[in-house]
Amino acid sequence: MKTASTKINRRSFLKVSALTGGGMLLSLNWLAACQPKEANALGMPKEWFQFNGFIKIGENGLVTIMSPNPEGGQNVKTSMPMIVAEELDVDWENVLVEQADLDTKYFTRQFIGGSQAIRSGFTNLRTAGATARAMLVAAAAQSWNVPANEITVKTGIISHKGSGKSANFGEFASLAATMPVPEEVPLKSAGDFKIIGTSKKNVESKNIVTGKPLFGIDTKREGMLIAMIVHPPAFGKTLKSFDDSKARNMPGITDILQIKSIQDDYKKTFFDTVQFTDLIAVVGESTWQVLQAKKAIKAEWEIQEAYEEKRDMLGREGIRVVPKGLESMASQEQAMMVAAQKPQTQRKDGDPEAAFAQAAKVIERSYTGPFLAHNCMEPMNFFAHVKGDRVECAGPLQKPELTEQALSSRLGIPLENIEIAMTRLGGGYGRRSYAHWLIEAAVISQKMNAPIKLIYTREDDMTGGVYRSRYQATYRAALDENNQMIAFHVNAGGLPENPLYPDRFPAGAVANYLAEGWEVPSNITTGSFRAPRSNFMACVEQSFLDEVAEAAGKDPIDFRLELLADAKANPVGERNDYDAERYAKVLELLREKANWGSSKDGISRGVSAYFCHNSYAAQVLDLKIVDGEVKIDKVTNAIDCGLVVNPDAAKNLCEGAVVDGIGTAMYGELKFENGVVNNSNFHQYRQIRMKESPDSIETYFVENGEDPSGLGEPAYPPVFAALANALYQATGKRFYDQPFINQLNS
């Protein structure tokens, strides 16, 4: 049996208190750097419930578990409380789940992104439940005057076999609050789990399907006004002047004002990415009235000069150069071609130059990926009410504690005076990490001295950033006379971000290896997009390996497994960031479950596998071409993400990733002409349609006893290449440029 310290480190502690009516409150402030404070047992204020994660036990045995992280459809609001409930050993039917608000004083990782929520919180959440259980046992032992080690707990019932006594949690909750917090608590063995590893329905399912207000767009307050913004029509332009005389006289319009969302001298952090900071704000009584007034504003724009901005990228300070100019697809392509000729070496093993010179066969291919828009279903929005030196906010965002810091700096209001209620995200995918619209809403509210709900139109979001970068990569592979790969070279870069992960597979599996990267400065704002950078690199790497396997006359899965066997037996280098054995087991599971090697009339198959976000995903995609259109018959997933907390929810997450990835690879593309986004709404930006989704998606998980390692993103990147490789089998054409629909129709 594993034990856990209740003081996991100096940044973690537990706190208990008695509740009015015989309840118990246990707060686990994991990953927090703060001092415990005394709690009022009577008349507890609502603010007190804003802790990162806590258990509340009522006198009737009902348990409330707070979910600390934002919920964006990945189901953490169900899975995280499941982890607590497992170690508490409560009947899941007697658990209520509530969304915690942001409290940066007591929580420093209250965000979603990077598939890290379950991975980073797993042990700490278990410890919270186990500690509460231990204190309830101690209370029962004291009350019954029996040894604690003779007491058992099962689904919310505390029992002592020798005396025949039993009680529910509620009967000892108040007494348990007075018990000392144990320094160590035993944690269950995985074989004893009753909740973890079982499928539980999403705790919000009923609210979602019945249309209950859950999202930021649903927020309403007395006296609330609606605001919209007008930003420059092109990247590389800024506001010069505007005429609002017609708009001011339109019905329902309260005010029109110029705002600056972020000051020029502010040192932007990683998620303060925003290009347009000089804006026009239109404020009025209703969304329709504001929208009409917005259209009536006549603004004049001018070319913005090049400038530098100070950045603090998660502790790495630097300067971002923002160039002057109105970028177009052609100018971007030319700049990328020039930069690719002067790359920086990011990893080099052996003597790749000599190996290529001696090779019996060299395969070289180039790939491109366009800018992509996130297109969250719920438009960007946020509520803000600045009341003197206090701020109340509510809305959907992924990194609330980081955004709160920027908000505090912009308004000049202390962090402790800012409250942010986290609503459910109507789609995130990285876009809601960059919550500049919260700051815009608060600045407008401060100027208007009124509660404001800021709403972006679809066009505002799609033409104002933040996007996935535009990427390019060239691969070379050298084969000897026995068709063994003896050298591998990748040259990858982007505008403005370099997507290369130099230490990922096949690094470590090839004696002679060279990885080079480059980037091109741009005034177009880019940032996190589901599985950042991996969404491109997985596609091009796995497409290329498929072509190399064909050149070597080998089965695609066998070829990858041979490389992984080499990486396991004789790894090259010391920085390889994947486990070759786990990687191979995912491919072996996929080969079995997809019945690889079998054939079906009219069906073409493609395979892909990738490691990212600490997890491994492999996929086989089956498709056919019917009347010139792609019809996807089936996708088989094999996933190693460690222990799966909620299997049905995990499968749902993988299914969503597959559909999302197919749609993006096939249709996603954002184009620029003279700094203007040409795809301003869905009539110009193609999304996947229901009939284009796979008929069937099957998901299988490797069972290896490892702790959870992340799942929100890993199943997304490899499906790009599985689709490309299947399309090759169906058409005889290799697909080098996204979106694939362009080449398919050419």
Percent of residues in the chain assigned helix, strand, coil, to nearest 5: 30, 30, 40
What pLDDT sits at residue 32? 35
User: What whole-number distance in Å separates Cα of residue 479 and Cα of residue 550?
Assistant: 12
2 pLDDT exceeds 90? no
Mean pLDDT of 557-572: 97
Compute the mean pLDDT over every residue in the chain, rounded to the nearest whole number: 90
Mean pLDDT of 579-608: 96
User: What whole-number distance in Å separates Cα of residue 133 and Cα of residue 382?
Assistant: 39
36 pLDDT exceeds 90? no
First-to-last alpha carbon distance for the chain, in angstroms, is 61
Sort residue 89 into left (φ over 0), alpha (ψ -120 to 50) or beta: left
What pLDDT sits at residue 49? 23
- Whole-model pTM? 0.92
- Backbone φ and ψ of 129, nearest 5°: -65, -40
Confidence of residue 325 (pLDDT cuts 50, 70, 90): very high
Confidence of residue 179 (pLDDT cuts 50, 70, 90): confident
Q: Which residue has the tokens 């005034």?
A: 523
Query: How buried is 182 (Cβ within 10 angstroms: 0-12 exposed, 13-18 middle, 19+ buried)?
Result: middle
User: What whole-number distance in Å separates Cα of residue 49 and Cα of residue 118?
Assistant: 22
How is domain 2-196 classified at the CATH fold level?
Aldehyde Oxidoreductase; domain 4 (3.30.365)
* Inter-helix orientation angle 556-569/580-593, to 10°: 160
Query: How buried is 151 (Cβ within 10 angstroms: 0-12 exposed, 13-18 middle, 19+ buried)?
Result: buried
What pLDDT sits at residue 40? 29
261 pLDDT exceeds 80? yes
234 pLDDT exceeds 90? yes
What pLDDT sits at residue 45? 24
Cα–Cα distances in angstroms (integers) from residue 324 to residues 304, 305, 421, 523, in the given order? 6, 5, 39, 7
Mean pLDDT of 626-643: 96
CATH code of the domain occupying 216-307+380-455: 3.30.365.10
For the chain, domain boundaries: 2-196, 216-307+380-455, 343-371+467-744
Task: Determine the distance from the C-alpha atom of residue 33 to the mean position of all C-alpha atoms in its chain, rounded to a whole number.
Answer: 24
Question: Is the fold of 2-196 the same as that of 216-307+380-455?
Answer: yes
Mean pLDDT of 563-588: 96
What pLDDT sits at residue 740? 98
* 316 Cβ neighbours under 8 A, 6+ residues apart: none
Q: Which residue has the higher pLDDT, 581 or 1?
A: 581
**In CATH, which of 3.40.50.1860, 3.40.50.150, 3.10.129.10, 3.30.365.10 is domain 343-371+467-744?**
3.30.365.10
Q: How many other C-beta atoms lie within 10 A of the C-beta of residue 42?
A: 7
What pLDDT sits at residue 33? 27
What pLDDT sits at residue 51? 23
What pLDDT sits at residue 485? 98
| Single-letter amino acid, residue 181 | V
Q: How many other C-beta atoms lie within 10 A of the C-beta of residue 334?
A: 12
The dihedral over CA atoms of 683, 685, 691, 696, expressed in degrees to the nearest 10, equals -160
699 pLDDT exceeds 70? yes
- Backbone φ and ψ of 535, nearest 5°: -65, -25
Rounded percentage of the chain residues whose pLDDT exceeds 70: 92
In the three-class reduction of DSSP (H, G, I as helix; E, B as strand; rest coil), residue 389 is classed as: coil
What pLDDT sits at residue 109? 73
What pLDDT sits at residue 60? 81
53, 125 Cβ separation under 8 angstroms: yes
- Longest Cα separation, the chain: 85
In the three-class reduction of DSSP (H, G, I as helix; E, B as strand; rest coil), residue 623 is classed as: strand
Mode of pairing for the β-strands spanning 253-260 and 95-99:
unpaired
Q: Which residue has the higher pLDDT, 108 or 652?
A: 652
Q: pLDDT tens digit string along 388-443?
A: 999 999 999 998 888 998 999 999 999 999 999 999 999 998 899 998 999 999 99
359 pLDDT exceeds 80? yes
Rounded percentage of the chain residues whose pLDDT exceeds 90: 75
Q: Which residue has the tokens 């990247």?
A: 235
Q: pLDDT tens digit string along 69-111?
A: 888 888 999 999 999 999 999 999 999 888 888 876 655 577 7
